[in-house]
Structure 1
Amino acid sequence: MAIPGLKKPDHIGFTVPNLDEAITFFQELFEFELAYQFGPFASDDNWMTDHLNVNPRAEITKIAVMNAKGINLEIFEYADTVERNKTVPNNADIGGHHLAFYVEDMNAAVSYLREQGIQVLGEPTTMTEGPTGGESWVYFMAPWGMQLELVSYPNGKAYAYHSAVALFDPR
């Protein structure tokens, strides 16, 4: 049984070292829109631990919420008031993650990223077999080290011919 009243994803939340840099990055490269910002936020009791699973003395400097064309981004910046891990996890780490964005023209998108000085990891990979047959993808890095991905499958993915489950399709 699912969570009562469950609808659709609302947002993806993540922490960055510099909120202004992240906002500019997503505005300039993706044309995401900033809806609002607020903060700071801290607590003198255990609220931060009880509700956010962080050090009780942690302080959120600012939070920004952006419209990411189909889902919202909730981006946090924490102050250096307490010891915390400042190493960005990679995909093999527990808690590793990436955000993926659909593009219509992979080559044009990769060229654009490189022209902007964005580190692209290798060349796009095109899947020719298996459930992701028909998809091309490439990873790239945000200035603060977060892994991001571009995906494209203009003619769909092979899994759709064999699965009763339809995945969200941004095309």
Structure 2
Amino acid sequence: MAWCAPSDPRYMVESLEAPADGAYQIAMVRVPPELNLELFEWTSAQRRTTMPSIADVDAHHLGLRVSDIDAAVAHLSAVPGVELLGEVKQVPEGALGAGIRFGDLRSPWGLNLELVDRTHEASRPAPRP
């Protein structure tokens, strides 16, 4: 992947509120049947090099629904730089969403990820029409 920068620095400032010297790499991820994700990595002389805390105003979090959380956590934990944050948890019996299992990870670049497995949810909501 190569770094991309629009030919007009005004675009960066006016349309994206990014520094005029901003450049980015983009990865397009398609998850069938119809989910498309754009992942950007930005660079600039003004770029902050520390990630925000999950509780900060500008923090980011990506939640993904999986069908086998144990397999997903095992796979992602084997990726260099991915950190499992605690153990896989389960919503207790009697609580709303009982049976849902979830786990939190951090990507090598600091993005917080949440994996959610609803395959054993006690009372699943009705599908949307």
Of 114, 119, 124, 2:88 maps to 124
Question: For residues 62-81 of structure 1, what are the structure 2 equivalents within 5 Å?
Answer: 62-69=25-32, 70-80=34-44
TM-score (norm 1): 0.60
CA RMSD of superposed structures (Å) = 2.7
Unaligned residue ranges in structure 2 (runs of 5+)? none
Aligned partner of 1:101 in structure 2 is: 64
**1:93 Cα deviation after fit:** 0.8
Aligned partner of 2:74 in structure 1 is: 111
Of 103, 108, 121, 1:143 maps to 108
TM-score (norm 2): 0.76
The 4+ residue runs of structure 1 with deviation greater than 4 A are none
Percent of aligned positions that are identical: 27
Work out the CA distance in 2 between the residues paired with 1:61 and 1:107. 34
2:14 maps to a residue whose letter is D
Aligned length: 125
Distance 1:159 1:97, change over 3 A: farther
Distance 1:84 1:157, change over 3 A: farther
**1:42 Cα deviation after fit:** 4.7
**1:43 Cα deviation after fit:** 2.4
Unaligned residue ranges in structure 1 (runs of 5+)? 1-19, 21-36
Structure whose residues are more often helix by fraction = 1
Q: Deviations over 1:116-160 (max 9, x none)?
A: 343111111100243332211111111111111111011446573
